[in-house]
Structure 1
Amino acid sequence: MKTIKTVCHRDCPDTCFMDVAVERGKILVVRGSTENPVTRGSLSEGQRRPAAGLQR
């Protein structure tokens, strides 16, 4: 399993940081990253289930 660090594409002032767990090209888990000092690991409502439309 590989973890990819990324950010939300939406134009919010706090810009959610995300840790995305990927295995064999499929997204397994999307978590908020604790590296963001504003969100401290939480994700906005729009980012809690982004994986559904992104799996290949």
Structure 2
Amino acid sequence: MSTVDGVINGTTWQGPARDWFVDDWNTSFKGALGKLNEAFGMAGRDCWARADELRRLMGVG
């Protein structure tokens, strides 16, 4: 997200299409990507917890 923000802020692109994109980026896309990132993080932590529990139950590790 920071890469896209940097490109948007550093571009010479002007006009209504840019305005529409920037508005969508700031109001919809960034929020959706943030939620997706959070969901992946939660899924990853759940995988680690399940793996740790399996290792504990199996007496491995």
TM-score (ref. length: structure 1): 0.30
Between structures 1 and 2, the one with greater strand share: 1
More helix by share: 2
Specify the structure having the higher radius of gyration (Cα): 2
